[in-house]
Amino acid sequence: DAGITQSPRHKVTETGTPVTLRCHQTENHRYMYWYRQDPGHGLRLIHYSYGVKDTDKGEVSDGYSVSRSKTEDFLLTLESATSSQTSVYFCATWQDPNYGYTFGSGTRLTVV
Protein backbone atom coordinates (compact mmCIF):
# COMPACT_ATOMS: atom_id res chain seq x y z
CA ASP A 1 0.00 0.00 0.00
CA ALA A 2 1.76 3.15 -1.19
CA GLY A 3 -0.94 5.54 0.11
CA ILE A 4 1.50 7.30 2.43
CA THR A 5 5.17 7.76 1.73
CA GLN A 6 7.65 9.12 4.22
CA SER A 7 11.04 10.38 3.21
CA PRO A 8 13.76 9.85 4.06
CA ARG A 9 13.40 6.45 5.71
CA HIS A 10 16.62 6.89 7.66
CA LYS A 11 18.67 9.95 8.44
CA VAL A 12 21.67 10.76 10.56
CA THR A 13 22.30 14.42 11.22
CA GLU A 14 24.43 16.57 13.45
CA THR A 15 23.26 18.58 16.41
CA GLY A 16 22.25 22.08 15.43
CA THR A 17 21.41 21.35 11.81
CA PRO A 18 17.92 21.82 10.36
CA VAL A 19 16.10 18.72 9.21
CA THR A 20 12.90 18.34 7.20
CA LEU A 21 10.89 15.15 7.03
CA ARG A 22 8.32 14.73 4.31
CA CYS A 23 5.01 12.93 4.32
CA HIS A 24 3.23 12.46 1.02
CA GLN A 25 -0.23 10.90 0.68
CA THR A 26 -2.27 9.89 -2.33
CA GLU A 27 -5.47 9.25 -0.33
CA ASN A 28 -6.77 12.83 -0.42
CA HIS A 29 -7.31 12.62 3.34
CA ARG A 30 -8.00 15.85 5.12
CA TYR A 31 -6.34 15.08 8.42
CA MET A 32 -2.62 14.43 8.78
CA TYR A 33 -0.46 13.88 11.84
CA TRP A 34 3.15 13.65 12.91
CA TYR A 35 3.99 11.39 15.83
CA ARG A 36 7.26 10.39 17.41
CA GLN A 37 7.83 6.97 18.93
CA ASP A 38 10.26 6.44 21.76
CA PRO A 39 10.76 3.35 23.94
CA GLY A 40 8.54 3.46 26.99
CA HIS A 41 6.44 6.33 25.64
CA GLY A 42 4.35 4.85 22.89
CA LEU A 43 3.48 7.38 20.18
CA ARG A 44 3.21 11.04 21.04
CA LEU A 45 1.64 13.69 18.86
CA ILE A 46 3.93 16.44 17.59
CA HIS A 47 1.72 18.43 15.21
CA TYR A 48 -1.35 17.81 13.16
CA SER A 49 -3.19 19.35 10.24
CA TYR A 50 -6.89 19.53 9.51
CA GLY A 51 -6.55 21.07 6.08
CA VAL A 52 -4.27 23.01 3.78
CA LYS A 53 -2.51 25.70 5.81
CA ASP A 54 -4.42 24.60 8.93
CA THR A 55 -2.13 23.11 11.55
CA ASP A 56 -1.98 22.87 15.31
CA LYS A 57 0.36 21.73 18.04
CA GLY A 58 0.34 18.38 19.75
CA GLU A 59 1.75 17.43 23.12
CA VAL A 60 5.46 17.44 22.20
CA SER A 61 5.70 20.29 19.69
CA ASP A 62 8.65 22.21 21.13
CA GLY A 63 11.51 22.33 18.63
CA TYR A 64 9.30 21.31 15.70
CA SER A 65 7.37 23.18 13.04
CA VAL A 66 5.13 21.96 10.24
CA SER A 67 3.73 23.14 6.96
CA ARG A 68 0.98 21.96 4.70
CA SER A 69 0.75 23.86 1.44
CA LYS A 70 -1.00 21.05 -0.44
CA THR A 71 -3.43 18.36 0.67
CA GLU A 72 -0.97 15.64 -0.17
CA ASP A 73 2.14 16.95 1.60
CA PHE A 74 2.81 17.50 5.29
CA LEU A 75 6.33 18.58 6.22
CA LEU A 76 7.91 18.33 9.66
CA THR A 77 10.93 20.55 10.33
CA LEU A 78 13.38 20.38 13.18
CA GLU A 79 14.77 23.90 13.16
CA SER A 80 17.94 22.98 15.05
CA ALA A 81 18.19 19.27 15.76
CA THR A 82 19.08 18.07 19.24
CA SER A 83 19.99 14.62 20.51
CA SER A 84 16.65 14.43 22.32
CA GLN A 85 14.97 14.44 18.92
CA THR A 86 16.53 11.13 18.01
CA SER A 87 13.44 9.03 17.44
CA VAL A 88 11.26 7.22 14.96
CA TYR A 89 8.82 9.62 13.31
CA PHE A 90 5.51 8.46 11.93
CA CYS A 91 3.18 10.30 9.66
CA ALA A 92 -0.47 9.31 9.61
CA THR A 93 -3.62 10.28 7.81
CA TRP A 94 -7.21 9.80 8.82
CA GLN A 95 -10.55 10.02 7.11
CA ASP A 96 -13.07 7.50 8.33
CA PRO A 97 -14.33 7.99 11.91
CA ASN A 98 -14.81 4.25 12.33
CA TYR A 99 -11.40 3.32 11.11
CA GLY A 100 -7.92 3.90 12.40
CA TYR A 101 -5.18 5.98 10.99
CA THR A 102 -3.24 4.99 7.93
CA PHE A 103 0.40 5.17 8.91
CA GLY A 104 3.49 5.75 6.87
CA SER A 105 6.46 3.42 7.26
CA GLY A 106 8.28 5.75 9.60
CA THR A 107 11.52 7.73 9.50
CA ARG A 108 14.33 6.77 11.84
CA LEU A 109 16.20 9.96 12.73
CA THR A 110 19.46 9.94 14.64
CA VAL A 111 20.94 13.21 15.87
CA VAL A 112 24.63 12.92 16.79
Partner 1 sequence: AQKITQTQPGMFVQEKEAVTLDCTYDTSDQSYGLFWYKQPSSGEMIFLIYQGSYDEQNATEGRYSLNFQKARKSANLVISASQLGDSAMYFCAMREGRLGGGSTLGRLYFGRGTQLTVWP
- Interface positions with partner 1 (CB under 8 A): 31, 33, 35, 40-45, 48, 50, 54, 56, 58, 88, 90, 92, 94, 97-103, 105-106
d(CA 91, CA 45): 10
Q: List, in sequence order, every residue forming a beta bridge with 30; answer none if it has no partner.
A: none
Smallest distance, partner 1 to C-beta of residue 14, A: 24
Smallest distance, partner 1 to C-beta of residue 38, A: 10
Smallest distance, partner 1 to C-beta of residue 70, A: 19
Where does the chain have alpha helices with state H? none
Nearest CB to partner 1, comparing residues 18 and 58: 58
Nearest CB to partner 1, comparing residues 63 and 106: 106
d(CA 109, CA 29): 25
Smallest distance, partner 1 to C-beta of residue 109, A: 13
Q: Which helix (H) or strand (E) holds 49?
A: strand 42-51
Phi, psi of 13 (to 5 degrees): -140, 165
